[in-house]
Structure 1
Amino acid sequence: MKILIITLGTRGDVQPYVALGEALAARGHAVSLATGQGFDALIRGAGLEPVALSIDYRQLLDTPEVKAAMRTFAGKLRAARMMKDENARLRDELWAACQRERPDLLIVSPKGFLAVVIARVLGIPCVTSTLQPGLVERGDFPPFLLARDLGPRGNRLAHRAVERLTLAGQNQFVKAWARRNLPPGSDIRLRGFHGHHPDGRPLPLLQAYSAHLVPPPPEWGALEPVTGYWFRATPSEPEPLAPALAAFLDAGPAPIYVGFGSMPPEDARQLTELVVAAVVELGQRAVLASGWGALEANAATPPEVLVIRAAPHPRLFPRCAAIVHHGGSGTTHESLRAGRPAVICPAGVDQPFWARRLVSRGLMQRVVPLAELTRDTLVAQLRVALGEPVRAASAELGDALRRESGAEAAAEILLAAIA
């Protein structure tokens, strides 16, 4: 079977779908993955075929408009206006890719939900997916964008409101795309978040996160599977650590890892100085990952602090004393799978949700957003994280996550559903 996976965003949005693609390819299917610029090597290295789209999320995240969108509502409005033309081009590219590839099955992430409609037009099955809870109504949690629990009835109402608003927004894009690409009068729109089969059956909405972090409510059924996070299988020859990093790790006690991925701070130098000061005050060693510019790559640091651009998390995290990060779903699951304490400093989107989940599990003291982080708050958070109760609880949760096989489970579920 020919399968096309569509996912958009940064590496945290792409890598789990590479893991799913590998699981499907291992079952004999030909898998292509459509995403933005910068991921061809990752995709080809997994034995999948890349379908490149023109959007470059790394460039977008570095624009003043997107940086402002992380901090203010007015910034979000300006960023949305800037993205209007980009989104129109992206929708046309998705349509062209689906027509060109002619897959037997589409698998899409939330940013690619236009493909649900495209699949209906082309008459092929489509399975939807998400890396975060929030697309299926439940009473025990509010939608992840809301910070306050509204109670069972309020949470359900909030989920319904978010669904209606999201579908209304998505269908504006669908209408614009349909006007350019379909015959006049075509009644085509996104009706919900589940996928569909051409014979009319609804198909599962795959939820790629751990039930140990967010357990599914009892009323969910086969159409709302929580599979576990989609980690890549451990290769026979794991990616090695850079020699300088390996030497640093070997030279002393386990360091604290600090990295904020693709999140663009207002002042990378100030954030780096803050982190170094906190580590020095605690008498700890640290590895700072500059990533896409969240920390200063060329910062002058004391000998007990090493600055790197990036490193394979599965190799590095188990050798760290604690993990300080932005709270993306992938880094959250990877740090917990390593059995190490985590301190999440969220910047936006789903990140505050994951931070609140750790607080509710007693794994973190409180939520301090990245924009409000100070040396004193980071020191206080790390003192709790490095204490024996949190270290023991994190190790226990890590054991549970390592027993999950999310990508394998998702592959089996979706293949059975379309049979």
Structure 2
Amino acid sequence: MLYVQEVGHHVRLATHINFSDFVKSAGVEFYPLGGDPRVLAGYMARNKGLPVAKGELSIQREQLEAIMESILPACTEPDIKTGAPFRAQAIIANPPAYGQSHVAEALNVPLHILFTVPWTPTYEFPSPIAHLPQSPGNRLSYVIVDLLIWWIIRGHINDIRKRQLKLPPISYFSTYYGSIYHLPTTYMWSRHVLPKPKDWGPEVDVVGYCFLNLGYKYQPQEELVDWIKKGPRPIYVGFGSMLLDDSRRTTDIILEALKHTGQRGILDRGWGDLGISSDFPDDIFLLENCPHDWLFPQCSAVVHHGGGGTTAAGLKAGCPTTIVPFFGDQFFWGDRIHEKGLGPEPIPVNQLTVEALSNAIRFMLDPEVKCRATEIAQLMENEDGVAAAVDAFHRHLPDELPVPPASVVENHHHPNIIQWFFVQIGTICCQVCS
């Protein structure tokens, strides 16, 4: 988004309040979306990414509703602090926003999908969200996932269309109307990791990974620098925004595996409180909030949850990788890493044991695995995902960008109470954490 802004666009980035400071630090205008990413992450981890747990459907629905309610104000409301007017003339969104296509329809503006996870149906592999084995039904799995989500959100989508967007409702019995299949779509991963499927058309681009390059201005703490210099390159272990059922048990497994393999380790606390209340030997370092593009080149290998950004950072650094997936596309990227010989088979978090992790570490330390990881990193150096993504966005834009119709903008006065509630909760949580 920063690059899009640098080429002359006025950009507003709408996301959860938890990321407000991060967005603003990049010089981009921020607007809060509803929903709490910690609640979403916990739900997704418990249910492996699929909304099928009957007792928890209300949690997922409430979060999705809060997000969907906040998309129109994110595109039309003045800046929250300065009052400066804002009217979106184009929308860039990811598929899980769900309300994005309906808002774009109401505003009559172009919509471009930008994402790190395959969402366009293909015969070459199944939907990463479904986590199914290869089969003749690969393409069908995408439709099934879409329909399953549509069945959950259809009522609220129609409520938003009638009440907020002044659009006619969609028949419950129609094919899911909110799919992205017909929209220009840009995927941010390297073709050297996952080539563009042959059955994806010209409306779909695979541009390469997009990096913020935060490491060049990062000033690490002296204690960390001194610790890294005292011994061989460590192994990084961290699960980012994933929540752990038992942080202490998971920490103990990691420490034992590192001990069994004779490796030094950096533990990233993350949202799961990895390493909390543990006494560490000298060859373990507990870390918080360190840019991966600075840290990973200091490591011999990495162990993480398999998020798209973390996977990209590890590959860019030439690090053999073990993925411990919690849900959704994390399993998919774990399989891709293993297929490329860049790491062992993924270890689902509920199957993480000292033996499994020890074997994974030994696999990553094989010189041939390191050689393959280095080769992938060198190939990725020739890709500029950010520039290619901006080019793809511009290529699909109409010659003239429309102005949102006044009727929709004027009829929208204040964010929905659900959005307001989540914004307030998020603000309080951020203040407490900081």
Q: Do they superpose with TM above 0.5?
A: yes
The one of 266, 272, 277 equivalent to 1:287 is 266
Aligned ranges 1:146-185 → 2 under 5 Å: 146-151=130-135, 153-183=136-166, 185=168
Tell me the equivalent position of 1:192.
179
Could you tell me which runs of 5 or more consecutive residues in structure 1 were left unpaired when the two chains were aligned.
1-20, 195-201
Could you tell me how far 1:66 is from its partner in structure 2? 6.2
CA–CA separation in structure 1 for the residues paired with 2:48 and 2:133: 23
Deviation (angstroms), 1:323: 0.1
Q: Distance in 2 between matches of 1:104 and 1:238?
A: 33
Listed as ranges, the matches of 1:199-218 within 5 Å are: 203-218=183-198
SS for the counterpart of 1:416 is helix
1:327-366 aligned at under 5 Å gives the runs 327-366=306-345
Look up the equivalent residue of 2:364 and give its one-letter code. Answer: A
Q: Secondary structure at the match of 1:411?
A: helix
Correspondent of 1:69 among 19, 35, 47: 47
- Please state how far the C-alpha of 1:73 moved relative to its aligned partner: 7.8
| Cα offset, 1:330, TM superposition | 0.9
- Name 1:11's counterpart in structure 2: none
Q: Say which of 56, 62, 72 aligns to 1:79.
A: 56
- Structure 2 stretches lacking a partner, 5+ long: 78-85, 400-434
CA drift at 1:83: 3.5
Q: Which has the higher contact order (CA 8 A, sep 6+)?
A: 2
2:74 is matched with 97
2:138 partner SS:
helix
Asked if the contact 2:322/2:345 (under 8 Å) is kept, the reply is no
Are 1:251 and 2:230 an aligned pair?
Answer: yes
Q: 1:282 to 1:410 in 2, by over 3 A?
A: same
Alignment equivalent of 2:121, drawn from 126, 131, 137: 137
Following the alignment from structure 2 to structure 1, what is the Cα–Cα distance between the partners of residues 295 and 69? 40
Give the letter aligned to residue 96 of structure 2: K
**SS of equivalent residue, structure 2 residue 281:** coil
Structure 2 SS opposite 1:348? coil
In structure 2, how many angstroms separate the alpha carbons of the residues matched to 1:70 and 1:145?
9
- Give a deviation string over 1:363-389, Cα, whole Å, max 9, x none: 223222111111111000110101111
How far 1:91 moved relative to its partner?
2.2
Aligned partner letter, 1:108:
A
Residue identity in the other structure for 2:244: P
Pair 132,60 (structure 1): closer, same or farther in 2 beyond 3 Å: closer
CA contact (8 A) 2:187 2:205 kept: yes
- Residue identity in the other structure for 1:246: V
Structure 1 stretches of 4+ with a deviation exceeding 6 A read: 71-74
- Asked if the contact 2:161/2:169 (under 8 Å) is kept, the reply is yes
TM-score, reference length from structure 2: 0.82
CA RMSD in angstroms comes to: 2.4
* Aligned positions, number: 386
Equivalent position of 1:126 in the other structure: 111
Superposed CA offset, 1:240-259 (max 9, x none): 22222112112211000000
Quick check: 1:167–1:192 contact (8 Å CA) kept in 2?
no
- Does 2:32 match 1:52? yes
Identity %: 28
Residue in 1 that maps onto 2:2: 22
Call closer, same or farther: CA 1:160–1:40 in 2, change over 3 Å. Answer: closer
